[in-house]
């Protein structure tokens, strides 16, 4: 296994763990992303479980499985998830510029999203 695969696997575990915990505890996910569901509407909690939970968990789990089992296109599977993280970071940079949202938390999140995105892209770019 190439070192870039190991880097991508660690990123998959981090992203998957975030998703698993968000699925179990949507209130935590809500606080993490600084969003709240409408009061009295259960669909909001469902949305946190679905997007920040299930999407993160299964997307990262699939990429993990593809890399571990050396599936054809595993590097692309990891890169696709990485593109999502990099896209999040780019969107946050746009917000920092246009919304004047240059907070310490936003800068931390840009760095976090870039690190995970690049880690997941590493098998595709460097193997």
Q: What is the pLDDT along the chain (127 residues), one digit of tens a residue?
A: 899 999 999 999 999 999 999 999 998 999 988 888 888 888 888 999 999 999 999 999 999 999 999 999 999 999 999 999 999 999 999 999 999 999 999 999 999 999 999 999 999 998 6
Are 92 and 109 in contact by the 8 Å Cβ rule? The answer is yes
* Predicted model pTM: 0.90
Q: What is the DSSP letter of 99?
A: S
Are 66 and 74 in contact by the 8 Å Cβ rule? The answer is yes
- Predicted pLDDT at 97: 97
- Predicted pLDDT at 126: 86
- Predicted pLDDT at 98: 97
- Predicted pLDDT at 36: 86
Distance between CA atoms of residues 82 and 66, nearest Å: 14
How would you class 117 by CB atoms within 10 Å of its CB: exposed for 0-12, middle for 13-18, buried for 19 or more?
A: buried
Q: Where are the alpha helices (H) located in the chain, listed in sequence order?
A: 3-24, 26-33, 42-47, 56-68, 74-98, 104-126
- Predicted pLDDT at 42: 84
Q: What is the DSSP letter of 35?
A: -
């Amino acid at each position: 296994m190439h070192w870039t695969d190991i880097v991508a696997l660690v990123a998959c575990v981090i992203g998957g763990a975030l998703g698993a915990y968000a699925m179990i505890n949507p209130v935590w996910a809500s606080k993490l992303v600084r969003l709240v569901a409408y009061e009295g509407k259960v669909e909001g909690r469902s949305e946190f479980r679905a997007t920040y939970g299930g999407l993160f968990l299964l997307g990262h789990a699939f990429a993990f499985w593809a890399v571990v089992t050396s599936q054809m296109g595993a590097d692309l599977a990891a890169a696709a998830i990485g593109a999502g993280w990099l896209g999040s970071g780019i969107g946050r940079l746009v917000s920092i510029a246009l919304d004047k949202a240059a907070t310490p938390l936003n800068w931390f999140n840009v760095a976090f999203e870039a690190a995970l995105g690049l880690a997941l892209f590493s098998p595709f770019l460097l193997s």
